[in-house]
Amino acid sequence: MKSVKISASGIQKVYNPGDTNEVLAIEDLNLDVREGEFVSLLGPSGCGKSTFLFMVGGFEKPTAGSLMMSGETIRGPGADRGIVFQEYVLFPWQRVSANIAYGLKIAGVPKPEQERRIAELIAMIGLQGFEEAYPESLSGGMKQRVAIARALAYDPDILLMDEPFGALDAQTRSRMIADLIRIHQATHKTTLFVTHSVEESILLSDRVVLFTARPARIKEIFKIDLPHPRSVTDSEFVHYEKAILGSLDEEVSKTIAANRDL
């Protein structure tokens, strides 16, 4: 069994504590993610998935509990993690190659080594011929590929993805899912993948972690015991889908009810 990479215990997150707009986003969250594991975080919108991801990223601090990575408390962002956002957030003034090489440049990696790594990643994401393009000229799917390459370039231990395919059309999304599976099998990066798509989470993950409605706790963890490539029409797939959807629907109803009270 692989070692524990991310360990969250008793995590609580309150935004604006003591203020009138105080928000209890996460109540009591306990989760261990093992090295190389692909874990999806699933839950109703606004339940605290991104909040948890950003705490692992080191951008937000838990207000209680302990959040560790490789046995050490997370104190801030760092190059041992790579992050991918739904809105791509590429650097528009840099060409594709420079965007990908960003972390390498920061780390002071020599130019030839950078070139080699860019070529490798461009091949991995299938964007040969677009090295010199500016992000603006790329489609959403291509931009997200560049963002993934940028996050992988400096070889972080952990890949954090916040609804990375949320803004893509269905066809692009299914291609991206297939590519992400391939990339994960090639790199074995520990991956936290936030999504609100049940299908996406089953297609990709070793485990699907279902969050409750806000304040978030873990409601249920589904271990997906299916070999890749997975097929959405497979009876076992459908079985997982039903179970997860049923559990998720309860939380979505709670969220809707809570919002009606407001």
Partner 1 sequence: MNALPSQLYSPIMDMARGNRWTPFVSILCAGILWELVILYGGVNTLLMPPPSAVLVRLFEMLGPGEGAVPDFLMIRHIAWTMFALIVGFLAAAMVSSAIGLVMGMNRTVYAWLNPIISIFMVIPNIAVVPVLILWLGLGMHTVIVVVITGSCFPIIYTAAAGVQNVPTRMIWAAQTAGATRWQILTTVLLGATMPYLIAGHKLALGRAWRAVIAGEIFAATKYGVGFMIYDARTFLDTEAMFAGLIVVGLIGVSLERILFGFIERRTVEKWGVTTSKNL
Ligand X SMILES: Nc1ncnc2c1ncn2[C@@H]1O[C@H](COP(=O)(O)OP(=O)(O)O)[C@@H](O)[C@H]1O
Residues that bind ligand X (CB under 6 A): 15-16, 23, 25, 43, 45-51, 214
* Closest to 193 in 3D by CA, of 82, 74, 40: 40
> Which listed option, ligand X, partner 1, Mg ion, none, makes contact with residue 229 (CB within 5 to 8 Å by class)?
none
Q: Which is nearer to ligand X, 14 or 226 (CB)?
A: 14
For position 48 contacting partner 1 by CB under 8 A, the verdict is no
For position 150 contacting partner 1 by CB under 8 A, the verdict is yes
129: left (phi over 0), alpha (psi -120 to 50) or beta: left
Strand 207-211 and strand 158-162: the pairing is unpaired
Separation CA 156–CA 47 (nearest Å): 27
For position 9 contacting partner 1 by CB under 8 A, the verdict is no
Tell me whether the omega of the peptide bond preceding residue 229 falls within 30 degrees of 0, making it cis: yes
* Closest to 50 in 3D by CA, of 73, 21, 26, 67: 26
* Closest to 166 in 3D by CA, of 42, 258, 13, 31: 42
Tokens of 104: 């390498």
Residues 91-101: b if buried by 16+ CB within 10 A, e if exposed: eeebbbbbbbb
Separation CA 221–CA 12 (nearest Å): 19
Q: How far is the CB of 218 from ligand X (least distance, A)?
A: 13
Q: Which is nearer to ligand X, 26 or 104 (CB)?
A: 26
Instruction: Pick out residues in 70-129 that bind partner 1 (CB under 8 A).
Output: 76-79, 81-83, 85, 87, 89, 91-94, 102-103, 105-107
Q: How far is the CB of 109 from partner 1 (least distance, A)?
A: 11
Cβ-count burial of 48 within 10 angstroms (0-12 exposed, 13-18 middle, 19+ buried)?
Answer: buried
Q: Which is nearer to ligand X, 47 or 122 (CB)?
A: 47
> Which listed option, ligand X, Mg ion, partner 1, none, makes contact with residue 206 (CB within 5 to 8 Å by class)?
none
Q: How far is the CB of 92 from partner 1 (least distance, A)?
A: 4
> Which listed option, ligand X, Mg ion, partner 1, none, makes contact with residue 45 (CB within 5 to 8 Å by class)?
ligand X
Instruction: Pick out residues in 169-208 that bind partner 1 (CB under 8 A).
Output: none
Which residue's Cβ lies closest to Mg ion?
A: 50
Separation CA 72–CA 74 (nearest Å): 6
Among 9, 30, 45, 137, binds partner 1 (CB under 8 A): 137
Which residues contact partner 1 by CB under 8 A? 54, 57-59, 76-79, 81-83, 85, 87, 89, 91-94, 102-103, 105-107, 134-137, 150-151, 154, 156
